[in-house]
């Protein structure tokens, strides 16, 4: 199945469209946040700076902050309407002292080198114009011992029924993107609907435990 162009904007500028998009993705963001937090805590990750690259309405970032109280989290996105929703949610949950949301491009981030201990990203790889640039920027802003946990939908026959899957990359395409990037040692794993990418400077991957 050939990859098809996005049928929604890369950046949501319309508040109504942003709100609709956020509502359809909030459950997934919270679910991923709980799973990631559980694995990180089990490993002993109890504090540090976390980047949510392509944070959308902030559900993943907020859930990580809820589950791991010692963290400071920054969400980065280009959609001001989605960022407004994220900031509102953070205020409602009383997390504005540890969670912030900034407008910026994940392909050219406004952060110093080595600033974050962890980077997470949910379904942004398929949306950006240059996924290699995004991965290179994540590598730049991660600390030497930092890691990336990324999840993205996978192109498959499911696209016959759910067009969003036609816009995604295949496993082989993601592997080629990773090989072209400067990302530190990585592994990729495949699930029915999605792909996971994990890096680890020490070579000890969460998914192997």
3-state secondary structure of 98: coil
Q: What's the CA gap between 187 and 196, in Å, rounded?
A: 8
Q: What's the CA gap between 198 and 167, in Å, rounded?
A: 22
Residues paired with residue 147 on neighbouring β-strands, in sequence order: 118
Query: pLDDT tens track of the chain, all 209 residues?
Result: 789 888 889 999 999 999 999 999 999 999 999 999 999 999 999 999 999 999 999 999 999 999 999 999 999 999 999 999 999 999 999 999 999 999 999 999 999 999 999 999 999 999 999 999 999 999 999 999 999 999 999 998 777 888 888 899 999 999 999 999 999 999 999 988 999 999 987 667 776 65
Q: Which domains does the chain have, with CATH numbers?
A: 15-202 (3.40.50.150)
Q: Rounded to two decimals, what is the model's pTM?
A: 0.94
């Amino acid at each position: 199945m050939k990859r098809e162009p996005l049928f929604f904007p890369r950046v949501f500028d319309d508040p109504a469209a942003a709100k609709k998009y956020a509502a359809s993705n909030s459950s997934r963001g919270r679910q991923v946040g709980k799973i990631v937090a559980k694995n990180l805590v089990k490993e002993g990750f109890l504090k540090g700076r976390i980047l949510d690259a392509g944070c959308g309405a902030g559900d993943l970032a907020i859930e990580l902050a809820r589950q791991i109280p010692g963290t400071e989290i920054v969400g980065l996105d280009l959609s001001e309407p989605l960022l407004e929703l994220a900031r509102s949610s953070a205020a409602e949950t009383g997390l504005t002292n540890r969670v912030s949301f900034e407008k910026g491009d994940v392909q050219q981030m406004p952060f110093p080198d080595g600033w974050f201990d962890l980077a997470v990203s949910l379904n942004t790889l398929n949306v950006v114009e240059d996924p290699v640039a995004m991965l290179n920027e994540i590598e730049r802003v991660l600390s030497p011992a930092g890691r990336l946990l990324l999840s993205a939908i996978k192109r498959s026959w499911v696209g016959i029924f759910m067009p969003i899957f036609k816009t995604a990359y295949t496993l082989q395409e993601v592997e080629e993107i990773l090989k072209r990037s400067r990302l530190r040692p990585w592994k990729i794993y495949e699930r029915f609907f999605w792909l996971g990418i994990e890096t680890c400077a020490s070579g000890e991957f969460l998914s192997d435990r």
